[in-house]
């Protein structure tokens, strides 16, 4: 047993000595190789690092091709009728008739909206007509004597006057003598006085100027009105427009006649720009523009809000860029001839949902279209053109 232990101890010592000798020789050999080949090792490591860096920095780029871009401007607005008026009474009296001035009542063009009791004025006109007929009758004999050739027209004029109809046209005088005679007898003055009352009588019945709907009533049948008193608010039926708002910077891209799309509960309506505002809303700093809409009063109602998309005619020599590629508000990464990153400021002229439109990127330049993190100017990258 003792001999066996001694042999094991001797073998272990020999192996340890051999390991120490081999390790020393390897260390000295590696040290000498590292000293004599240090530059070559550093170059190899740098190449490996550069290759690794290039593989990590592969980026999506797009080659700029400036062209005419039709930018779509999103907005929303309230539907309004093209005509919205308050109808007043121009005379004094009591409202009469069968119409009930109820909100929502529809009235066609030419139909009576309301009437004012006019008996007093009718009696006054008939009284004046009676005196006027008496005046002409008393002068017919003199006219026949002094103006024999003109007698027939004045006699026909006299016979045409009735209590139920307006006065006929006043006869034309053919000489200064006849004219002086008619004026001196106050025939013309009486005629004009009656015609004035007849015109006033028309104001006692107010007709609808267009097909419309009553949206508000200020009184009802039996109520008394005075000159200038509002009676109803009246809007045009079926002929509507929409007031949209846009940023002041977007107004320059919008032209009269540009098409507009409206969406409401899955329904699509169309229209076109008809007016542009020239003032800024002090509260929102937006500008109003107005569009038609090809919808009737059954599907679209006054006061309804709709989402809109304005299709502009386009801006020449511009490029549409992904919004996420822009950093620090107006900067993007571009590639130089050696595929190294450079920073360029862009001039953003319009903004859409996920894109911006710029006008100062030269053609064929490669612009990075994805956000980059932890990179700096001058970094070499591998471009993947999309």
Domain boundary, last residue among 290, 311, 332: 311
| 370-374: average pLDDT | 86
Residue 297 and residue 327 share a domain: no
| Opening angle at CA 351, ends 350 and 354, nearest 5 | 150
Q: DSSP secondary structure string, 180-230?
A: HHHHHTTHHHHHHHHHHHHHHHHTTEEEPSSSEEEEEES--TT-EE-TT-E
Q: For the chain, what is the radius of gyration of the CA atoms?
A: 47
Q: Is residue 222 part of a domain?
A: no
Length of the chain: 386
Q: Is residue 107 part of a domain?
A: no
Residue 248 and residue 300 share a domain: yes
Q: Is residue 98 part of a domain?
A: no
What are φ and ψ of residue 251, in 5° steps?
A: -60, -35
pLDDT at 29 over 70: no
Q: Is residue 99 part of a domain?
A: no
Structural domain range at position 63:
58-71+316-385
Q: For residue 54, what pLDDT band results from cuts at 50, 70 and 90?
A: very low
Domain boundary, last residue among 311, 331, 363: 311
Q: Is residue 277 part of a domain?
A: yes
CATH for 306: 2.40.30.170
Q: pLDDT above 90 covers what percent of the chain?
A: 38
Residue 324 and residue 289 share a domain: no
Residue 270 and residue 281 share a domain: yes
62-119 residue pLDDT tens: 999 999 888 788 888 888 887 888 999 999 999 987 766 778 888 889 988 899 999 9
Q: Is residue 111 part of a domain?
A: no
Q: Is residue 215 part of a domain?
A: no
276-316 residue pLDDT tens: 888 887 777 888 899 988 866 567 787 888 889 998 888 88
Residue 263 and residue 335 share a domain: no
Domain boundary, last residue among 202, 230, 252: 202
Q: Is residue 131 part of a domain?
A: yes
Please tell me whether the overall predicted TM-score, pTM, comes out greater than 0.85 for this model.
no
The number of distinct structural domains making up the chain is 4
186-213 residue pLDDT tens: 999 999 999 999 999 999 999 999 888 8
- Give the pair of three-digit tokens for residue 143: 């006219």
| 9-13: average pLDDT | 72
């Amino acid at each position: 047993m003792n001999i066996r232990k001694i042999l094991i101890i001797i073998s272990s010592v020999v192996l340890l000595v051999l390991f120490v000798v081999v390790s020393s020789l390897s260390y000295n050999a590696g040290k000498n190789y590292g000293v004599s080949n240090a530059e070559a090792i550093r170059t190899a490591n740098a190449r490996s690092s550069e290759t690794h860096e290039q593989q990590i920095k592969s980026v999506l780029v797009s080659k700029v091709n400036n062209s005419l871009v039709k930018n779509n401007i999103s907005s929303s607005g309230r539907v309004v009728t093209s005509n919205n008026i308050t109808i007043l009474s121009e005379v004094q009296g009591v409202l009469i008739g069968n119409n009930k001035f109820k909100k929502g009542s529809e009235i066609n063009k030419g139909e009576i909206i309301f009437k004012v009791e006019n008996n007093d004025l009718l009696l006054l006109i008939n009284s004046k007509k009676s005196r006027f007929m008496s005046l002409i009758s008393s002068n017919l004999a003199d006219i026949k004597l002094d103006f024999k050739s003109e007698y027939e027209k004045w006699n026909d004029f006299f016979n045409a006057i009735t209590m139920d109809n307006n006065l006929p046209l006043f006869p034309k005088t053919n000489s200064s003598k006849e004219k002086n005679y008619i004026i001196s007898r106050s025939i013309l003055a009486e005629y004009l006085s009656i015609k004035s009352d007849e015109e006033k009588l028309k104001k006692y019945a107010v007709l609808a100027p267009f097909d419309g709907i009553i949206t508000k009533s200020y009184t009802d049948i039996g109520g008394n009105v005075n000159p200038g008193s509002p009676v109803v608010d009246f809007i045009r039926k079926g002929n509507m427009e929409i007031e949209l708002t846009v940023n002041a910077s977007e107004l320059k891209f919008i032209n009269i006649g540009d098409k507009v799309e409206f969406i409401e509960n899955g329904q699509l309506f169309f229209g076109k720009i008809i007016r542009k505002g020239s003032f800024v809303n002090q509260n929102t700093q937006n500008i109003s523009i107005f569009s038609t809409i090809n919808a009737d009063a059954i599907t679209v109602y006054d006061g309804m809000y709709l989402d809109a998309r304005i299709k502009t005619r386009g801006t020449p020599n511009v490029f549409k860029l992904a919004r996420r590629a822009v950093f620090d508000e107006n900067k993007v990464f571009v590639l130089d001839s050696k595929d190294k990153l450079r920073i360029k400021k862009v001039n953003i002229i319009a903004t859409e949902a996920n894109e911006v439109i710029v006008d100062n990127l030269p053609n064929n330049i490669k612009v990075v279209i994805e956000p980059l993190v932890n990179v700096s100017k001058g970094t070499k990258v591998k471009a993947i053109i999309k």
